[in-house]
A and B are shown apart, each in its own frame.
Chain A
Amino acid sequence: MKDPKGISSGPENPQRRTFLIALIAGMGGFIGFILGGSGLYYFLSPALRGKKKEWVDLGPLHNFKEGQPVKADYLQRKRDGWEVIDSSGVVWVLKEKENYVVFDSHCSHLGCPYNWDSAKEQFVCPCHGGIFGKDGRVVAGPPPRPLDRIPVKTENGSLFIMLEEKA
């Protein structure tokens, strides 16, 4: 059917209409799937990354006092994203009868940097009032578990701790 100016405007064919809508949805869906899928995977990929562990030197054994937790810092050369950095960190070391216990320096509650109160003989967290005993057990406050312990070994008169290496 043609109007006087020659532009065709046929009667609407409902099947053709549905078909076109399906095509639009299909093409749109395809583009969306490829873009959205790869983008989502890209964005979420950190969750899938595995962990590698390595031993990090904490320094000579004579640095640590018997019976008193001391802070020890370390340098770990590792990859951080696209950079290789000397990342420094700190842990608490408790030496008791030649036995070494190393605590992660982040509160087991929400990761604040707790400190040793030598007068009270307790670890005190500055955030939500978490308090831990010398052995890391929770004495007061909201922390859900004792201080996290890091695996240790002694070798050639030095103390080593097992840390996660960031891939």
Chain B
Amino acid sequence: MKEILDWLDERTGWRKLKEVILDRHIPKGVDWRYTLGSVTLFFFVLQVVTGILLGMHYSPSPDHAYDSVKYLTNEVPMGKLLRGLHKWGATGMVVSVFLHMLRVFFMGAYKYPREVTWFSGVFLFFLVIGFGFTGYLLPWDQKAYWATTVGAHMVEQVPYLGDALAKIMKGGSDLGTVTLTRFYAIHVLVFPALTLLFMAVHLFLVVWHGISAPPEKDPTLSDKDPDWKARLKSRYAELKAQGKSFWPYIIFKDTVAVTLVFLIVLGVALWKGAELEDLANPTDSSYNPRPEWYFLSVFQLLKYFPGKLEAFAIVLLPLIVVSILFLLPFIDKGPKRHPGDRKWLVLAGWMSILGVVFFTVQGARSPLTNPVMEQNPLVMQGKRIFTDLNCLYCHTLNGRGGSVGPVLDLVAMRRDKNWLGAHFRNPKKLTPGTKMPNFNLLDGEVESLVAYMSTLGATTYSAEAPRLFEDNCASCHKFQGTGEFIAVDLSHIGRARDAGYLAAYIKDPVKMNPDAAMGGYADQLTPEQILDLANYLYQKGK
């Protein structure tokens, strides 16, 4: 064994490396707060590993992205867990990089001679934010689509260059195919490469200068003293001599911290998973766009800058934040690192943290003005298939389309679900001589199409329906000018739900939505009344 190790040492010099990296002494006083950097590093590794695995089932195109994510989540073994880990790992990384930065800030660890370490860290911080922003477009769900729409509009506000910049970001004037491939390339190629680069610099410098010792209050130290740098160095050497070696003492602490956060992330990933909203739908005007929580403070801030000041908020404010971060080591110079000696700065730091927390909370609480309602996934799927199969080449809907087949408005009044199902499975069998081709649809596709077709009807409601609503629903639900706004506002419910769904929901809400707070009306109302009510809501709410 010894021979092998010697052989290797002569060729790689690993003993020297081990000495410099693993055996180096860490100054006395380095405690648990110092594990945050390693935790962040761990998150990066976690994101790389889970990211690579997700990449094996992901297809970066608007046609397939959503389905591929859905597939890998629901059908690939462990897919759900891995996506959960990636999602919550991202959250964890934002938190840990932020806390790490705060530790460095409050301890004044960015001061001489570690300024460049700090700069590389600031770059890494922005990379983490960039990862977040580019990452959540990839599933191509509603959140992805609308958050990126807002992001692109923000870029557009930049004076003079805005339009060009937004186009560069989107790869064209609309959010589409090229946007997704761009974001994908940046998320999985550009940013990881840059992160590795800056991380290499960062870690090299950490080893080169040694981890900063906890700040000490030393009234005799000041930058008036011509050899304060030498004094700092000798004090550091002293502390270092009293400290323990990196391996295994510090690494032990790091490993404990990493295991702890891993358990947390694992727990949250198992518990919450990673939600996937409905497929991105540019035509949906009842969606309430909300960014990922770490952008909520920005989201909220945007509310306070009216009209013309917008450009200020979008260009100047970030610029100020970036410059402060980069200039920090020049603003706050000299040997004094203890928070007690940097009162104003520490105060400013606390104020900014409170500000960010405050705006984040405000942002999270801002009311959802669009009625919150889930879409019926089957109907949406059906609509997609309807478009994909180019049904409008032959059929007409809403006054547009071809004239070969029958008009489809109100088709649900003429045909019931059984007929529609049989028709899609084999048109010629049901209607000999029809020109409708057999598309060889799978069962799931037939079901979706039938669901969609069934929404195209004008089932009427009786004169009694409004009274039914007043008596049974108005005490909680708002509906176009009547009722209380306690539960969901139903004014536009017909845009998201068909009458059949509504009827089923009124009958037994929990069956349709396990989280429903509403009780069923199967006992209070007759089936005819429920249907009447559902038709009323659907027709008037369309």
Residues of A within 8 A of B (CB): 43-44, 46-47, 49, 51, 57, 59-60, 63, 71, 73, 75, 80-83, 85-90, 105-106, 109-115, 117-119, 124-129, 138, 141-145, 158, 164, 166
| In contact, B173 and A49 (Cβ under 8 angstroms) | yes
Residue B153 interfacial (CB < 8 Å): yes
| In contact, A166 and B174 (Cβ under 8 angstroms) | yes
CA distance A143 to B306 in the complex (A): 7
Residues of A within 8 A of B285 (CB): 71, 90, 105, 113-115
Residues of B within 8 A of A142 (CB): 302-307, 310
CB contact under 8 A between A164 and B164, given known A113-B289, A126-B370: no
| In contact, A75 and B181 (Cβ under 8 angstroms) | no
Residues of B within 8 A of A44 (CB): 168
CB contact under 8 A between A113 and B308, given known A46-B178, A75-B400: no
Find the A residue at minimum CB distance from B286: A115
Residues of A within 8 A of B307 (CB): 138, 142-145
How many residues does chain B have at the interface if contact means C-beta atoms less than 8 Å apart? 55
CB of A127 to closest CB in B, whole Å = 6
Query: What are 13 A-B pairs with beta-carbon distances under 8 A?
Result: A49-B173, A80-B172, A81-B172, A81-B181, A85-B62, A86-B387, A106-B153, A109-B153, A109-B310, A110-B302, A112-B150, A126-B369, A166-B172
CB of B504 to closest CB in A, whole Å = 25
| In contact, A144 and B369 (Cβ under 8 angstroms) | no
Q: Which of B453-481 contact A (CB under 8 A)?
A: 480-481
Residues of A within 8 A of B302 (CB): 109-110, 127-128, 142
Interface-central residue, A83, A138, A158, by most chain B CB under 10 Å? A83
Residues of B within 8 A of A (CB): 61-63, 146, 149-150, 152-154, 163-165, 167-168, 170-174, 176-178, 181, 282-289, 299, 302-308, 310, 366, 368-370, 387, 390, 392, 398-400, 480-481, 491-492, 495
CA distance A25 to B61 in the complex (A): 41
Find the B residue at minimum CB distance from A105: B285
CB of A104 to closest CB in B, whole Å = 11
Find the A residue at minimum CB distance from B176: A80
CB of A46 to closest CB in B, whole Å = 5
In the complex, which of the residues A80, A111, A115, A128 contacts B299, with contact meaning CB atoms closer than 8 Å? A128
| In contact, B174 and A125 (Cβ under 8 angstroms) | no
CA distance A110 to B152 in the complex (A): 8
CA distance A109 to B287 in the complex (A): 16
Residues of B within 8 A of A126 (CB): 287-289, 368-370
| In contact, B392 and A75 (Cβ under 8 angstroms) | yes
Beyond the given pairs A75-B400, A88-B283, A115-B369, 19 more chain A to chain B contacts, judged by CB atoms under 8 angstroms and listed by A's residue number, are A47-B163, A49-B172, A59-B399, A80-B177, A81-B172, A89-B282, A90-B282, A110-B149, A110-B150, A110-B154, A115-B370, A117-B491, A126-B289, A127-B288, A127-B289, A128-B302, A128-B303, A142-B304, A166-B173
CA distance A2 to B181 in the complex (A): 60
CB of A110 to closest CB in B, whole Å = 4
CB of A99 to closest CB in B, whole Å = 20
Find the B residue at minimum CB distance from A112: B289
| In contact, A144 and B400 (Cβ under 8 angstroms) | no
Residues of B within 8 A of A143 (CB): 307
CA distance A90 to B284 in the complex (A): 8
Residues of B within 8 A of A144 (CB): 306-308, 310
CA distance A110 to B390 in the complex (A): 33
Find the B residue at minimum CB distance from A70: B542
CA distance A110 to B154 in the complex (A): 6
| In contact, B303 and A47 (Cβ under 8 angstroms) | no
In the complex, which of the residues B181, B287, B306, B390 contacts A113, with contact meaning CB atoms closer than 8 Å? B287
Residues of A within 8 A of B177 (CB): 80-83, 85
CA distance A143 to B303 in the complex (A): 9
Find the A residue at minimum CB distance from B366: A129
CA distance A115 to B496 in the complex (A): 14
Residues of B within 8 A of A113 (CB): 146, 284-287, 289, 370
CA distance A142 to B366 in the complex (A): 15
CA distance A86 to B176 in the complex (A): 12
Closest 10 pairs (CB-CB, A-B):
A81-B177, A60-B399, A144-B307, A47-B164, A90-B283, A111-B153, A110-B153, A113-B285, A128-B303, A80-B176
| In contact, B283 and A73 (Cβ under 8 angstroms) | yes
| In contact, B165 and A89 (Cβ under 8 angstroms) | no
CA distance A49 to B166 in the complex (A): 12
Residues of A within 8 A of B495 (CB): 71
Residues of B within 8 A of A63 (CB): 398-399
CA distance A80 to B163 in the complex (A): 19
Residues of B within 8 A of A106 (CB): 149, 153
CB contact under 8 A between A51 and B303, given known A46-B178, A113-B287, A126-B368: no
In the complex, which of the residues B153, B163, B390, B399 contacts A158, with contact meaning CB atoms closer than 8 Å? B399
Find the A residue at minimum CB distance from B307: A144
| In contact, A115 and B492 (Cβ under 8 angstroms) | yes
CA distance A134 to B400 in the complex (A): 27
In the complex, which of the residues A83, A109, A112, A115 contacts B146, with contact meaning CB atoms closer than 8 Å? A112
CB of B189 to closest CB in A, whole Å = 13
Interface-central residue, B61, B150, B368, B492, by most chain A CB under 10 Å? B150
